Structure 1
Amino acid sequence: MIDPIGVTPGHIQGSRAEPRDAAKVVPLQAVRAPQPAAVAETSARDTAKALAARPPVDAERVQMIKRALQEGRYPIVPAKIADRMIAAQMKWVEKK
């Protein structure tokens, strides 16, 4: 026999499970959309303005690398430089 589609009482370890408060209905409350979207947008604008005010280059890191180059402590691997130059060139080529 095929059970019809719908809610039917289930069986738990040989006994029948009946709903206790079948007549109890929980009223639904109106749902309002939260307002943090405007806050996030304002925060994103403030962050963008703060980032635009600073230079896009970390000047301290550049100075650290320059000092390491002058002192001979910066590892220069020609193969890695060549690989990155080739990868950059590949990104410049227009894809048709």
Structure 2
Amino acid sequence: MDRTLITVSGSSQAALIDQDIAHIARVMRPALRGDLGGPILPAAYWRKRLYSLLDTGNLSHAQLCTVDSLLLQIGQYEAEPQLAWDTLAPATAALFPPPYPASVSQSA
């Protein structure tokens, strides 16, 4: 995929970078957690987005710290074992006890 650089003034570029960093910080963790089907977007996608921000070369110290923190979060996510849905509580684990004792036989 070819990268195209868009030239904007310094202050508006910093604002766009701030908005992009804030967006990634807001949605990355929920997207990595995903749902029963797994992550909505994989860690590689988020890492690529963050590296593209680093490639701009115009990040402030605070922006660099935030991007670094987000990259560390991705690393931590990948290092943690992911919950296998097969290891969850069995379907027989009921939230409520049965309405009758299990030892009573039902005969009609």
The TM-score range, normalised by the shorter chain, is under 0.3
Q: Which has the higher contact order (CA 8 A, sep 6+)?
A: 2
Higher helix share: 2
Higher strand share: 1
TM-score, normalised with respect to structure 2: 0.23
Greater Rg, structure 1 or structure 2?
Answer: 1
TM-score, normalised with respect to structure 1: 0.25
